Amino acid sequence: MSTTKTPKRRLQPRSSTLLLIAGLMLTSAVIRISLEAGPAFAKGTSDEAMQAETQPENTPGTRTSSAEFQHLLSLFQERERALEMREKEFEDRRIALEIADEALERKLAALTEAEQKLRKTLALADVAAEDDLTRLTEVYEKMKPKESAALFEEMDSRFAAGFLARMRPEAAAQIMAGLSPTVAYTISVVLAGRNASVPKN
């Protein structure tokens, strides 16, 4: 009986040791597999996530947002074109106004120059008319009083009064003496009323 019990006692420590070694090896294998499989699994997961991000989702919400974006983009483009057209119109108007202003300035300058020339011409005409009246007055003064009176008898009373007013008083008196009383009176009234409307103050 002693011989049968001894082998049984020696087998128990060996079997437990073997089980412990086998467990350690199994644990080591599991750890190695997990260490090697973890990065690979993570890499695969990240690749799938990247593919999911890069590839558009064919969902109704995505299609709707893309269509809305395209619609807004087209609206902005239309507004931009409208603004460009308005800006071009304003620029064209500004250029037209500048051209009109330049033309108006040229016309005003031409009118000013023409007015100055007209004033000079009128001044020359006034001087020439004054010179003519002065000469004609001198001619009437140098004529004989009877001859001058005959001419003044036929003149318009205002016209004759104008010449008599320019003459020397002696010559005018001799001509007035040769006129008929009616003509002399009419010319006298015209002469007296020439300065009646002039302000005295």
Classify residue 173: in a domain, yes or no.
yes
Distance CA 63, CA 67 (A): 6
pLDDT averaged per 10 residues in sequence order, the chain, 201 residues: 46 62 72 63 52 50 73 89 92 92 91 88 80 87 90 90 90 91 92 66 57
Would residue 115 count as lying in a domain? yes
The token pair that represents 175 in the structure block: 């001509």
**DSSP secondary structure letters along 68-105:** HHHHHHHHHHHHHHHHHHHHHHHHHHHHHHHHHHHHHH
Q: What pLDDT does residue 93 have? A: 92
Is 3 within the bounds of a domain? no
Whether residue 122 is found in the same domain as residue 147:
no
Q: Of 130, 175, 15, 201, which Cα lies nearest the Cα of 191?
A: 175
Structure tokens at 49: 């996530």
Would you say residue 117 lies in a domain? yes
Under DSSP, is residue 121 helix (H, G, I), strand (E, B) or coil?
A: helix
Instruction: State which of 28, 49, 70 marks the end of a domain.
Output: 49
User: 194: which DSSP letter?
Assistant: T
Q: Are residues 191 and 164 in the same domain?
A: yes
| 73 in a structural domain | no
Q: Is residue 137 part of a domain?
A: no
Residue 148 sits in the same domain as residue 191: yes
Look at the pTM and tell me if it is higher than 0.75: no
> How far, in Å, CA of 183 to CA of 161, rounded?
10
Q: Quick one: 44 and 83 in the same domain?
A: no
End-to-end CA gap in the chain:
176
Structural domain contains residue 5 = no
Q: Which two tokens stand for residue 91?
A: 């620029």
Confidence (pLDDT) at 100? 92
Which residues form the domain of 87?
A: 79-126
User: How confident is the model at residue 3, as a pLDDT?
Assistant: 46
Does one domain contain both 191 and 148? yes
Q: Please give the pLDDT value at position 11.
A: 46
Structure confidence at residue 2 (pLDDT): 45
Residues 157 and 121 in one domain: no
For residues 180 and 169, is the Cβ–Cβ distance under 8 A? no
CB 164 within 8 A of CB 156: no
The residue among 126, 155, 187 that closes a domain is 126
84: in domain: yes
Whether residue 116 is found in the same domain as residue 154: no
| Structural domain count, the chain | 3
